[in-house]
Amino acid sequence: MRLPPLVGISIGLVSLTISVMLLGNTFFELVPDERKITFEHRRSLSESLAVLYSTLASQDDFETIELAMNALVARTADIQSAALVAIDGTTLAQTGHHLDSWTPPQGIESTLDHIQIPIFQGLGKWGVVQVRFRSNNTSDPIELIAHTWVQFIAFVGLIGFLGYYFFMKRTLRHLDPSAVVPKRVKAALDNLEEGVVILDPHDRIILANTAFLRQSEKSISDLLGTKIADLTWLTTDDQMDEKPPWELARTQNDSQTGFPRVLAPSEGQLRKFLVNCSPISDDHGKVNGVLVAFNDVTELDQANSHLVDTLKNLHESQTEVLKKNEELELLATRDSLTGCFNRRAFFEKLDSAYVLAKENGTALSCIMADIDHFKLFNDRYGHALGDQVIQVVVKTIGEVLRTGDIIGRYGGEEFCIVLPNSDRNRTIDIAERICRKIEAESGGKIRTTSGLTITSSFGVATLTSETVDPLELIDQADKALYAAKENGRNQVGFWDDQPRVAEVNASLVTTS
CATH of the domain at 193: 3.30.450.20
Q: How far apart are CA 181 and CA 408, in angstroms?
A: 87
Percent of the chain with pLDDT over 70: 88
Structural domain boundaries, residue 391: 334-511
Which of residues 96, 118, 133 is at a domain's end?
A: 133
Same domain, 238 and 357: no
Query: What was the pLDDT predicted at 505?
Result: 39
* Residue 180, pLDDT above cutoff 70: no
pLDDT digits (tens, 9 = 90+) for 83-119: 988 888 888 888 878 888 888 887 668 888 888 888 8
Q: How far apart are CA 479 and CA 470, in angstroms?
A: 14
* Residue 149, pLDDT above cutoff 80: no
Query: What was the pLDDT predicted at 329?
Result: 79
Query: What was the pLDDT predicted at 63?
Result: 85
Query: What was the pLDDT predicted at 477?
Result: 95
- When mean pLDDT is compared across 165-179, 228-242, 298-312, 332-346, the lowest value belongs to 165-179
Q: Which residue has the higher pLDDT, 407 or 48?
A: 407
State the virtual CA torsion across 394, 396, 399, 402 in degrees, nearest 10. Answer: -50
Q: How far apart are CA 397 and CA 371, in angstroms?
A: 12
Percent of the chain with pLDDT over 90: 36
Query: What was the pLDDT predicted at 136?
Result: 66
Q: Provide φ and ψ at 278, rounded to 5°.
A: -130, 130
pLDDT band at 506 (very low <50, low <70, confident <90, very high): very low
State the virtual CA torsion across 225, 228, 229, 231 in degrees, nearest 10. Answer: 90
Same domain, 338 and 287: no
State the virtual CA torsion across 383, 387, 389, 393 in degrees, nearest 10. Answer: 150
Same domain, 226 and 283: yes
CATH of the domain at 41: 3.30.450
Q: Are residues 461 and 494 in contact, defined by beta-carbon separation less than 8 angstroms?
A: yes
Residue 272 lies in a domain: yes
* Residue 123, pLDDT above cutoff 80: no
Same domain, 440 and 386: yes
Q: How far apart are CA 484 and CA 433, in angstroms?
A: 15
Average of per-residue pLDDT values in the chain? 84
Query: What was the pLDDT predicted at 182?
Result: 67
Same domain, 247 and 357: no
pLDDT band at 502 (very low <50, low <70, confident <90, very high): very low
User: Which of 5-9, 98-102, 266-270 holds the top average pLDDT?
Assistant: 98-102
CATH of the domain at 467: 3.30.70.270
Q: How far apart are CA 452 and CA 471, in angstroms?
A: 35
10 Å Cβ neighbour count for 388? 19
* Residue 345, pLDDT above cutoff 90: yes
Same domain, 354 and 278: no
Of 294, 198, 292, which is closest to residue 248 (Cα–Cα)?
292
State the virtual CA torsion across 141, 143, 145, 148 in degrees, nearest 10. Answer: -150
State the virtual CA torsion across 46, 49, 54, 56 in degrees, nearest 10. Answer: -160
Q: Which residue has the higher pLDDT, 410 or 37?
A: 410
Mean pLDDT across 478-495: 94
Local structure of 107: helix, strand or coil: coil
* Residue 15, pLDDT above cutoff 80: yes
Residue 440 lies in a domain: yes
Mean pLDDT across 289-313: 89
Residues 6 or more apart whose CB falls under 8 angstroms from that of 512 comprise: 482, 486
* Residue 500, pLDDT above cutoff 50: no
Number of domain units in the chain? 3
Residue 161 lies in a domain: no
Q: Are residues 430 and 419 in contact, defined by beta-carbon separation less than 8 angstroms?
A: yes
Same domain, 378 and 496: yes
Residue 164 identity: Y
Show the beta-strand stretches assigned E in 95-189.
114-121, 124-133
Mean pLDDT across 269-274: 89
Q: How far apart are CA 360 and CA 258, in angstroms?
A: 60
Which of residues 99, 133, 167 is at a domain's end?
A: 133
Same domain, 344 and 291: no
Residues 6 or more apart whose CB falls under 8 angstroms from that of 423 comprise: 363, 365, 462
Q: Provide φ and ψ at 432, rounded to 5°.
A: -60, -45
Residue 74 lies in a domain: yes
Q: How far apart are CA 18 and CA 149, in angstroms?
A: 12
DSSP string, 277-316: EEEEE-TTS-EEEEEEEEEE-HHHHHHHHHHHHHHHHHHH
Same domain, 79 and 225: no
* Residue 275, pLDDT above cutoff 70: yes
Query: What was the pLDDT predicted at 512?
Result: 30
Of 497, 371, 458, 474, which is closest to residue 418 (Cα–Cα)?
474
Same domain, 385 and 436: yes
* Residue 140, pLDDT above cutoff 70: no
Query: What was the pLDDT predicted at 373?
Result: 92
Question: Which residues on neighbouring strands pair with residue 209, listed in sequence order?
Answer: none
User: Which of 55-59, 158-162, 285-289, 341-345 holds the top average pLDDT?
Assistant: 341-345
Query: What was the pLDDT predicted at 511?
Result: 31
SS3 content of the chain, % helix, strand, coil (to 5): 55, 20, 25
Mean pLDDT across 391-400: 94
10 Å Cβ neighbour count for 139? 6
Residues 6 or more apart whose CB falls under 8 angstroms from that of 348 comprise: none
Same domain, 376 and 498: yes
Residue 268 lies in a domain: yes
**C-alpha 114, offset from chain centre:** 73
Burial class of residue 355 (count of CB atoms within 10 Å of its CB; 0-12, 13-18, 19+): exposed
Q: Where are the alpha helices (DSSP H) in 367-456?
A: 374-381, 383-400, 424-441
Same domain, 124 and 255: no
* Residue 269, pLDDT above cutoff 70: yes
Query: What was the pLDDT predicted at 503?
Result: 36
Residue 21 lies in a domain: no
Which of residues 234, 266, 296 is at a domain's end?
A: 296
Residue 213 lies in a domain: yes
Residue 395 lies in a domain: yes
